[in-house]
Amino acid sequence: MDVVATTRSFADAINAAAPEMERECRMDPTLARNMASAGLFRQLVPEQYQGLEVHPQNFFDSLAAGAYYDGATGWCLMIGNTTGLLSGSLAPEWAQSIYGDHPDHVTVGVTAPIGRAEENADGLTINGRWPFGSGSQIAQWICGGATIYDNGEPRKSERGIPETVLAFFPADEVTIHTDTWDTSGLRGTGSHDIEVSNAKVPEGRWVVLGKKPRVDTPLYRFPTFGLLALGVSAVSIGIGERAIDEFIELAGAKTPTGSSRSLANRPIVQKDLAMAQAELASARALTREYIDAAWTQANESGRLTLETKSRLRMAAGNNAWSAVNVVDRLYHAAGGTSIYRKSRLQQCFRDVHVPTQHIMVAQPIFEVIGKVALGMEVNQPL
């Protein structure tokens, strides 16, 4: 299946749904259902559970294509697919039940271990409230990260750090606080707070964070955080590419006040556009180079080195911040036109600044990448 072509086949449907998604702060349920039926939320699910198990580059390109038409749609695809990656780590009976038996279902979740888990006779009892529950209103299963407690104290893993899990909850057991996602950008993601109270999670319906996946094929040798970071940054790239095309159309049609020439005829505008195109093309090229190198390593040696993982995170961070540079440059070059809601550039401007706040690509990741390059110890997973 060509996931990029399939994503692009939804262009008209995404464009039609996007304005209402922006107003309602949620992904359109019909659009989500149709995209799920087409397999677009199952790109990182193993083939043995009716997934597509695609090459990471195809995953990246598919998300960028979705975000080109609407940033929020691309983001929901990213959340659904990266949550689906967990199917390679779930107990097989639960992976089959959640994914294999229901190939049109959507799973989403929040990794941060904010919840509190305690053992019961059959598994875990979990309480928690998580912000940034993107796509929760379109999902059949919702995940939440939790720390396991024993006698009031966090349980320690073999490495001496708190033991954390990512548990799956049926959507009807999760409260979605629909008054919490009031933001400047990516409003259509519906990233409201989600909450569970005394949720009973049976044995095996959770993933231990940091544990080696059960499925051992090249895709699941990629680092979870690396794939998540690439997904976040693919949304940024898609938004940036849409901004370039919108600007080209605007520049040819607009004659600035007090000028007899179109915007396109200004040398400074020509320079800004060329630099924007070069920056995004360079970011894409770097991403492809590092994904290809990592894929080769995953196939040949079975594991990725720290340096390879660091380069994947470097590419992702570079994507997110390059896209911001591009959109900002073109937003200003467009003049007053870009401030109106009817201008797609203003939405690109609002949307592209949201991914940069995600922990996977926020500025501190470059400090970690720099430590790896300097041969220094890194105390966080890449």
Domain CATH for 164? 2.40.110.10
| Distance (Å, whole) CA 78 – CA 294 | 20
Q: Are residues 75 and 193 in the same domain?
A: no
Q: Helices (H), strands (E): how many in the chain?
A: 11, 8
Q: Are residues 189 and 241 in the same domain?
A: no
Q: Are residues 18 and 132 in the same domain?
A: no
Q: Are strands 141-150 and 107-119 parallel, antiparallel or unpaired?
A: parallel
Q: Domains in the chain: how many in total? A: 3
Q: Are strands 141-150 and 164-170 parallel, antiparallel or unpaired?
A: antiparallel
Q: Which residue from 168, 185, 180 is spatially nearest to 354, judged by alpha carbons?
A: 185
pLDDT reported for residue 315: 98
Q: Which of 2-16, 243-257, 294-308 has the lowest mean pLDDT?
A: 243-257
pTM recorded for the entire structure: 0.95
- The beta-strand segments (E) located in 107-190 are 107-119, 123-133, 141-150, 153-154, 164-170, 175-177
Q: What is the 3-state secondary structure (H, E, C) of 50-65?
A: CCCCCCHHHHHHHHHH
- Mean local confidence (pLDDT), 224-247: 97
* 27-50 per-position pLDDT tens digit: 999 999 999 999 999 999 999 999
Domain CATH for 76? 1.10.540.10
Would you say 107 and 52 are in contact if contact means Cβ atoms under 8 Å apart? no
The domain in which residue 288 lies consists of 222-373
* 59-93 per-position pLDDT tens digit: 999 999 999 999 999 999 999 999 999 999 999 99
Q: Is residue 98 part of a domain?
A: no
Give the C-alpha distances (Å, rounded to integers) separating 48 from 36, 56, 224, 293. Answer: 18, 18, 19, 26
